Chains A and B, each alone.
Chain A
Amino acid sequence: MIEQVAEPLEQAGITKVVLELDVNNHPGVMSHICNLFARRAFNVEGILCMPTPNTDRSRIWLLVFEDRRLEQMILQLEKLVDVLAVRRHGAEHEVFVRLEQFFH
């Protein structure tokens, strides 16, 4: 009704964080995850998803910038029914580093 008066959004930090998600491999999972980040106005820098061999699971890797809301984002991710586990890594994790050669 009345306009919300809130503190301005913090600038995203510059520290990168890599998130590793175990998810059910079925249609719609990616849309749930991307939608969650989009609707909470949290930028995703990089995303990578492949089925894990011989299972009905997939693994999703997300590259995000650390900010005050990241903890909340992880809690929200954990609430998604198809997200089975979320692990957090530092930017030194090599998954996106090794992919860089495909982005020149």
Chain B
Amino acid sequence: MKQMTGAQLIVRLLERQGVRTIAGIPGGAILPLYDALSGSDVIRHVLARHEQGAGFMAQGMARVSGRPEVCFASSGPGATNLVTAIADAMLDSIPMVAITGQVPLPMIGTDAFQEVDIYGITVPITKHNFLVRSATELLEVIPEAFRLAMSGRPGPVLVDVPKDVQNQLIEIETLPEPAEPDPAPVLDLAAIERAAEMINAAERPVLYLGGGVIHSGASQQAVTLAEQASLPTTMTLMGLGALPLDHPLSIGMLGMHAARYTNFVLEEADLLICVGARFDDRAIGKAAQFCPNANIIHIDVDPSELHKIKTAHVAINGDVAKVLDALLPQVKVKLRDAWLAQVDGLRNRYPMEMPARDDPRSHYGLIHAVASALDDEAIITTDVGQHQMWVAQAYPFRRPRQWLTSGGLGTMGFGMPAAVGAALAAPERTVVCFSGDGSLLMNIQELATLAEEGLNVKIVLMNNNSLGLVYQQQNLFYGKRVFASKYRGAPNFLRIAEGFGIAAVDLDAAANPAETLAQALSAPGPCLIHASIDREQFVFPMVPPGAANTEMIGG
């Protein structure tokens, strides 16, 4: 029998769950938990400078480790500052446990100082959430939060803990076992057999891989399936890295900013095998006109994704790695010479155009130069905007979890704190964050955290002194009425970085930018690498809003 406080119990349970790093910011309502955390020998706390930064650090760790990671915030403004990072985790299915302090139970509902109903606020943006009413409940709630975050389709869980519950003393006989993910859904063998028959009978099949392949660790199976059945393979923004981009069967990313040939190949398909993807509007364009001639096999761990946007001919609910394992022995080896030749023909006729790819002062050239200076061990994060799409188009992703980006929510400010989280989870790797000047300013304060931790994070700032993607839309779709998208001031990012104690290099001033870049990337520790980008460069090709994927403009 052991006596401890609710706060000490939380820390014990987190330790037993394998949590080793927590990002957060303390405040009145969570001080008992911080006091307990200060006594932990195994958990390291990383002090963020804004709770959104802490949330994205936890996400960065989780996107690299694949396990639920934790962030802490106090009640009221601390908790509301986490909201964007939680919503982002929800839309990209990232396992995360957010723990917030709350005013004491008797004060809930009295509009107490820093009282906010974070439980109510996070109902629509979490897989599940808890308001804990006694220290005893923690014995169930904490493991349950981890179980939910990592079972099936992963996602964020919030646990709101009133201050008096943190202070409450309880007697504990035995601690609960750390949570394990639920067993995967039972395999639907009949559906898997039908899927294999359809793949074997198809003449022009295409494999369509999403983030679910990354989450379930199914890349190897996906590559084997592609090779065994000679399937041209496209990936969503979240699925990049599932198949190496330079694999002969890769046809690159699909959708709004795909290469033309990719969308044309999909148009020709007679069978679409969708694995761990969800027919998102940015990926498929006008749903009714997407893959008009194809039967659909849809494999997903979340049953509510099946038939949601497109009715599948065979829908298989299951963990995609397990389903593919069962499917593979039934899929015949095929060469599909004619179909692959047709794909090659389209690729040659409508390739991905990357003008000035060899000039590191251009956008594609800069991305290319970064890729040339790194190996596949590096982790790449981005913010949101043109730079994000250019990196998605141009960077040769070759392994799962190499690429971290805010896909579903598209949150500016994601990139740098997520890179900090990635570096915390994988300190031996180089982490590169491609950012825009708009996005970087959204969480610039985390440079202080980065400097303090001295992590190996390089920020490649593609500075067009504007909200480039907005500027692009206004030019293309709003009669060139450019409004609120060009900055009039121009902060000196080099001095900002230096002010935070972070090394900075300016590629604009470099005689040999590729060499300066390579040096900056290979020096240990944080660095900001600044490069001006021509504001008139747009992301092409582009599927205009509401159009079918084959109606691309530009490129």
Contacts and interface: CB of A to CB of B under 8 A. Distances in A.
B286 to A, nearest CB: 8
A39 B469 CA distance: 28
B148 A28 contact: no
Contacts of B308: 72
Given A28-B131, A75-B304, A5 B545 contact: yes
Interface string A73-85: 0011011110000
Contacts of B148: 81
B303 interface: yes
Interface in A47-91: 71-72, 75-76, 78-81
Given A35-B123, A81-B148, A2 B545 contact: yes
Interface residues of B, number: 22
A27 interface: yes
Contacts of A1: 410, 469-470, 473
B504 to A, nearest CB: 29
Nearest to A74: B304
A13 to B, nearest CB: 18
Given A75-B303, A76-B304, A81-B148, A3 B123 contact: no
B477 interface: yes
B473 A2 contact: yes
A2 B410 CA distance: 12
Contacts of A31: 120, 123
Interface string B254-275: 0000000000000000000000
A2 B257 CA distance: 13
A19 B128 CA distance: 22
Interface string B308-320: 1000000000000
A31 B494 CA distance: 48
Nearest to A69: B308
A3 B410 CA distance: 14
Nearest to A32: B123
Given A5-B545, A5-B546, A72 B304 contact: yes
Nearest to B130: A28
A79 B93 CA distance: 14
Contacts of B307: 71
Interface in B114-134: 119-120, 123-124, 127-129, 131
Interface of A: 1-6, 27-28, 31-32, 35-36, 39, 71-72, 75-76, 78-81
Given A1-B473, A79-B302, 7 more contacts: A1-B469, A1-B470, A4-B281, A35-B123, A39-B124, A76-B304, A81-B148
A-B pairs with the 10 shortest C-beta distances? Answer: A5-B546, A75-B304, A2-B545, A81-B128, A35-B123, A39-B124, A5-B545, A76-B304, A35-B124, A75-B303
